[in-house]
A and B are shown apart, each in its own frame.
Chain A
Amino acid sequence: MCDLLSRNIDLIVVGGGPAGLAAAISARKEGIKDLLIVERNNWLGGILPQCIHDGFGLIIFKETLTGPEYAQKYIDEVKKLEIPYIIDSMVLEITPEKDVIVSSPKGLLVFHAKAIILAMGCRERTRGQIRIPGSRPAGVYTAGVAQNLVNLKNFMVGKDIVVLGSGDIGLIMTRRLTFEGAKVHVVAEILPYPSGLPRNIQQCLIDYDVPLLLSHTVTEIQGQNRVEAVVVSQVDENSKPIEGTQQRIACDTLILSVGLIPENELSKTCGVDLNQITGGAVVKENLETSVQGIFACGNALHVHDVVDYVSLEAQKAGKSVAEYVLGKQRKVKRIQTEAGNGVRYVLPDFIRRNVDLELFMRVVCPGKDKHIGVFDGKKLVKKKKFRKIHPAEMIKMRLKGSETKNVKALRVEVLEK
């Protein structure tokens, strides 16, 4: 490896956001004593401190909290349990042997970990990745970066805004910027339906008369030095711009809310298998990855829409990690799950039979009054009705141990009829 002194540790938790905090708390409560949370920001809480709007905590705390308040509950618990953490510190590399190299103002720290929880969260898709043509001026920001600058650092990104993407982040930032005195001229969405929750369309767009242009995208950015305008065009059913539908909208800022990508550079360095659809690790129902002793949870595993589920998932990861470290993990046979018709992905990738568990999935298209079926080959194992399904909302389905007793494989589908 390298010649630096390494110290042995039971558990490294990579990331001090909602996933990392909940996982560490759970691991500690289950008996792991020697652990460390490694956080690269200057604060704990991950993305939550900048999410100053409410709507968090409805499930776990039965109240509607703002992001910072939700985070504080876990930060207080970490401090109460005296769980060690370092900030301004970033994991540079994890080897398949579970050596963890951390760069920190305190030094280059090397740990030989018994177990690792990957909770790095996700990053935002960029202008370059969706290849918007045009100039490259100042004033193009992804929504999360704009949120950080406006809410944490006290910088106002612009005053005449166009937002691309009607996912919840784009909608929330539309409202936020409007509140701070900017004018959001339009929100463009490439799909024929909004990506975010209907309540956010109401309270972020309709409330403030912000037009929503469905089936539209930004086809050019103009302005040599600072954004001067964007051109939006209508798109066809293949999301290709339709010639002749271009509209030039004068503005000084373009906010991009065009998708989140689980961050898994470290997963690659330690040889963890990745799920090609989610971009996150392939995991078993106990959230262990393909490398023994390395677990994943939160947005690094798959992008969540409700932070409460991140915490619950992370709590499970913490429990599983403790089982592993304390030698209580049993070797079991598992079967594979598969995303079938209408389902974009289903997690976990591998599950035990005969135990109660939950499947998490996202659908490809929105729908009303749909059934989702779980099949073992041709045989229907379970079926559940949903009033509304939407790609923006994660769907859960509980499976009882008795329901998976002798199954060979599981496939989840949106039923047509």
Chain B
Amino acid sequence: MVGCALAREFSKYELKTVLLEKESDVCCGVSKANSGVLHTGLYYKKGSLKARLCVEGRLMYKRLVKELDVPCTLCGKHVVARTEDEIKDLERLRDVGEANGVRGLTIISRELAKKREPNVDSLGALYSPVAGIVSPYLFTIALAENASSNGVNVYLNTKVTGIKQVNEGFRVTTTQGDFTADIVINSAGLYADRIASMVGIDQYRLYPSRGEYLVLDKDSRDLIGGMVYPVPPKVAGYLGIHLTPTIDGNLLIGPSSEFIDVLEDTRTTEERILELMTEAKDLLPNISLKAVIYAFSGVRSKITPPNEKEARDFIIQEDLVDFINLIGIESPGLTSSPAIAKFVVQLVKEKRDIRRKKDFSPIERKTVRFNETSREKQSSLVNEDPAYGEMVCRCEHVTKREVLDALNNPFGVKTIAAVKYRTRAGMGRCHGGFCLPKIVEILEKEYGMAAEEMTLKNTDSPLFIGRTKDLRKKGV
């Protein structure tokens, strides 16, 4: 997300900008697996980059989500106290928030909290009215596609293997060839420390911390009105397992927090699943675990070592001339991302005279989300284009036209995941039971893909080993 926000921000200037991504699509790493929450700035030390960029970033969202046609809503948040001591913690949070310029924070009584969130038991709560939720992947993809529309070349499946300082700037060696750049911005998330050390910047070390989530059926959405958070546990930078409605109408439980050894170990575990279920029931006794439809996890890029009590700040600095590092961009990374992008551009501007483009086009219009339009509009869409009339995803009501548009994305990504994150097909309660064979048929008939070419998320995740008769035919 940060990388795509940066790409879009730089695309406003007369600069040749490229975005290098090692995965098969944008938004495959940290950005894909998070709560989708727009924070207001309750948790961060006054004067820190986190505090400043979170507050700035959140204010930028209103316009951005309109320009990029990304769903977003301010559903509000209650941080609930379940012990008397926690009421004091609420007051502390409110004070921190107010010092950071957050408005509207109120501590409410047990009775009022019960009225607002009838299914939650608490002794009182801190209400934050302007906390919001957004779709993290739609936002990231829209940023990338808008950057691309404005001239940024997005190179996928392009892993950086080395960076060398040369006369002309930096020679960046990748699995898809070399690039020579005047300026390098390192927003490599979990790998940012490794990228930095490629040019001799060795002082950074990241500690991957996995967070697991449970996704509940849309039927459970109405159990809460807005977000419900516990008082943050006394663990550096960790906000605790919370309940978040998603912008699409599901309910998320999570994330957990656990330091791990292997960087991209995005497994879900028995222990954490149990922990999430227990914590959720503690906050929301009416929650039914039968409503769980999916579990996923993501890995945070943490700069704070496990034994430190207080969370360290974002590191966004030019450690080497024209080489800007973004290290440890975890929560509130999502909220801060547009502000981070502006901040980095400002760093560049301080040294170079870069001009704004006259023809930057901020608007990126997506395919109409059929399921979210009125019946009248749906009718006219189908009349114009019969592909809107054929349902591919029965749970989320995603049409063939939306699936085709997703596959026709500007990056040429034709994986099942590319369709899933752009359209929601496969995210419903049956998790691909109806849509997978249909999407496979579309890949075959509309794009002429061979069986072996169809993948879940990248070339190492083929769906099939071939055609049905292949294992029996002679010579196989």
Contact = CB atoms under 8 A, between A and B. Distances in A.
Q: Do A and B bind each other?
A: yes
Interface of A: 2-4, 40, 88-90, 92, 101, 103-108, 110, 123-124, 126-129, 131, 133-139, 142, 144-145, 148-159, 180-182, 219-220, 224-226, 241, 252, 265
Contacts of B376: 2-4
B440 A133 contact: no
Interface string B297-325: 00000000000000000000000000000
Interface residues of B, number: 61
Contact of B382 (A105, A138, A181, A241): A105
A149 B389 contact: no
Given A4-B376, A107-B379, A138-B456, A152 B437 contact: yes
A225 B459 CA distance: 9
B461 A106 contact: no
A155 B460 contact: no
Q: Give 6 closest A-B pairs by Cβ, nearest first.
A: A181-B471, A138-B456, A128-B294, A105-B386, A225-B460, A225-B461
Contacts of B215: 128
Interface of B: 214-215, 264, 266-270, 273, 292-296, 374-376, 378-379, 382-383, 386-391, 394-395, 397, 399, 429-434, 436-437, 440-441, 444, 451, 454-458, 460-472
A225 B460 CA distance: 6
A153 B119 CA distance: 47
Nearest to B383: A107
Nearest to A1: B375
A233 B296 CA distance: 22
Nearest to B290: A129
A153 B445 CA distance: 11
A105 B390 contact: yes
A155 B464 contact: yes
Nearest to B471: A181
Nearest to A147: B437
A4 B444 CA distance: 36
Contacts of B382: 103-105, 107-108
B462 A128 contact: no
Contact of B437 (A2, A92, A145, A252): A145
Contacts of B444: 153
A124 B430 contact: yes
Nearest to B466: A156
A92 B469 contact: no
A3 B471 CA distance: 55
B269 to A, nearest CB: 5
Given A101-B375, A135-B267, A145-B436, A156 B389 contact: no
B465, B466, B467: residue with the most chain A Cβ atoms closer than 10 Å: B465
A127 B431 contact: yes
Contacts of B379: 4, 107-108
7 contacts: A103-B399, A106-B389, A150-B468, A180-B468, A182-B471, A219-B270, A220-B267
